[in-house]
Amino acid sequence: MYNVTEQFEKLKGRDDIVVLGIESSCDETAAAVYGGGKILSDVVASQVDIHKRFGGVVPEIASRNHMAALPDIVDEALKKAGIGLNDVDAIGVTYGAGLIGALLVGVSSAKALAYAANKPLVKVNHIQAHICANYIEHKDLKPPFLALVASGGHTSIVEVKGYNEYNLVGSTTDDAIGEAFDKVARLLGLSYPGGPNIDRLSKGGRNVIEFVRKKQVDGERISYSGLKTAVVNYIHNCEQRKESYDIADVCASFTAAAVDPLVEMVVKDIKKFKADKLVVAGGVASNSYLREKMRFAGKEHGFEVIMPSPVYCTDNAAMVAVRAALSAREGKNLAGLDLNPTGSLSIGGEE
């Protein structure tokens, strides 16, 4: 009989909870162990090379590869941490947002492990986990603060009131910023994932092409779909006129057009909420231009800017384990074996 309520209760208030974290929401199969305030292991198997030839993530292929890779990844994470499954206090797993088939693999595996070892299962919201990646390297970081999540699926400003309290403050109107990077990269013939390639090429380019910034900002909300269309139109116009264009300049100009209004939006909210700290998270938080611009805005407007190292910006299970430990410490987010993943989970936890 699987009954872990009492065990879970005993974790309340503890800072030394040992958690096995599992992440499979997109194309990274990952497992990590967090304990005593430290990451004890962090294993990520990226499927990027498999999906590259399709120009993006193919959901069914992602699910199948998670299925094949996860058992070994979990084993490796436990081994590297120097512990066995019986030594963990809880198992944390991403249950949304993400690709539903991919999430099902991680959640089913986590359930099987929780049942077999009789351990509490903690459900983890992927977007909240991205924010929690910041606690790994910034030991003094404590809520409240404002967070910017810039990933392939989300561009959100979040008010983090406590370790388990997340309120959405603002987001973009349509596409997420990472999605825009990937779509523009594809248009330019760059391989998947486009973000890091655009970042690399931008360094040799100039911000000289104006991609209609005013139309892009709808009130306070940014339309990345509009920006992508502006890049498409620019390239088509060049082709029609049989003019060449400089890819590096397109990359640098697109990056500035994507990041600058986002920085403006963040500064507005920092002032509105009288926040003194901005925490940046998600895959696009590893973008060098965005990092530089955010740091500069912090200096100019007097707020502290906190960002993870690039390795903790993109998908990983260390952030999942940390998020789960913070839930368990406050007796929150215990899941039953009937846990069902949700593709479109919001930052606050609603579908």
- Residues near Zn ion, by CB under 5 A: 151, 315
Decide if residue 284 touches ligand KG4 (CB under 6 A).
yes
When the beta carbons of 122 and 285 are compared against Zn ion, the nearer one is 285
As measured in angstroms, the least distance from the Cβ of 182 to ligand KG4 is 5
Single out the residue of 233, 291, 223, 285 nearest to residue 257, CA to CA: 223
As measured in angstroms, the least distance from the Cβ of 192 to ligand KG4 is 8
Looking at residue 30, its amino acid is A
Q: Taking contact as CB under 6 A, which single stretch among the options 42-50, 70-78, 111-119, 150-158 is the one that binds ligand KG4?
A: 150-158
State the pairing for strand pair 334-335/221-222: unpaired
Q: Taking contact as CB under 6 A, which single stretch among the options 114-122, 238-246, 278-286, 323-331 is the one that binds ligand KG4?
A: 278-286
Quick one: which of 24, 41, 134, 151 contacts ligand KG4 (CB under 6 A)? 151
Token pair recorded at residue 178: 């990472």
Quick one: which of 11, 18, 19, 26 contacts ligand KG4 (CB under 6 A)? 26
Count other C-beta atoms under 10 Å from residue 292's C-beta.
Answer: 11
Kindly state the DSSP code that residue 191 receives in the 8-state scheme: P
Question: How far is the first Cα of the chain from the last one, in angstroms, to the nearest whole number?
Answer: 30
As measured in angstroms, the least distance from the Cβ of 171 to ligand KG4 is 14
Q: Taking contact as CB under 6 A, which single stretch among the options 6-14, 146-154, 158-166, 262-270 is the one that binds ligand KG4?
A: 146-154
The phi, psi pair for 176, rounded to 5°, reads -85, 160
Quick one: which of 286, 327, 333, 342 contacts ligand KG4 (CB under 6 A)? 286
Decide if residue 106 touches ligand KG4 (CB under 6 A).
no
User: Within 302-341, which residues bind ligand KG4 (CB under 6 A)?
Assistant: 314-315
As measured in angstroms, the least distance from the Cβ of 132 to ligand KG4 is 13
As measured in angstroms, the least distance from the Cβ of 153 to Zn ion is 7
Decide if residue 171 touches ligand KG4 (CB under 6 A).
no
Count other C-beta atoms under 10 Å from residue 243's C-beta.
Answer: 8
Token pair recorded at residue 103: 């999430």
Q: How far apart are CA 114 and CA 106, in angstroms?
A: 12
Decide if residue 283 touches ligand KG4 (CB under 6 A).
yes
As measured in angstroms, the least distance from the Cβ of 230 to ligand KG4 is 18
Decide if residue 251 touches ligand KG4 (CB under 6 A).
no
Residue 194 touches which of Zn ion, ligand KG4, none (Cβ within 5-8 Å per kind): ligand KG4
Single out the residue of 134, 125, 119, 32 nearest to residue 83, CA to CA: 32
* Dihedral sign computed on CA atoms, order 223, 226, 232, 235: negative
Number of residues that bind ligand KG4 (CB under 6 A): 20
As measured in angstroms, the least distance from the Cβ of 213 to Zn ion is 27
Q: Taking contact as CB under 6 A, which single stretch among the options 15-23, 33-41, 145-153, 166-174 is the one that binds ligand KG4?
A: 145-153
Kindly state the DSSP code that residue 193 receives in the 8-state scheme: S
Token pair recorded at residue 18: 């040992």
Q: How far apart are CA 285 and CA 297, in angstroms?
A: 15
The 10 Å CB-count burial string (b at 16+, else e) for 1-26 is eeebeeebeebeeeeebbbbbbbbbb
What are the Cα distances from residue 180, in Å, to 54, 133, 172? 17, 23, 12
Instruction: Name the one residue in this structure whose structure tokens are 């700290």.
Output: 277
| Length reported for the chain | 351
Interface contacts to ligand KG4, rule CB under 6 A: 26, 130, 151-153, 178, 181-182, 193-196, 199, 282-284, 286-287, 314-315
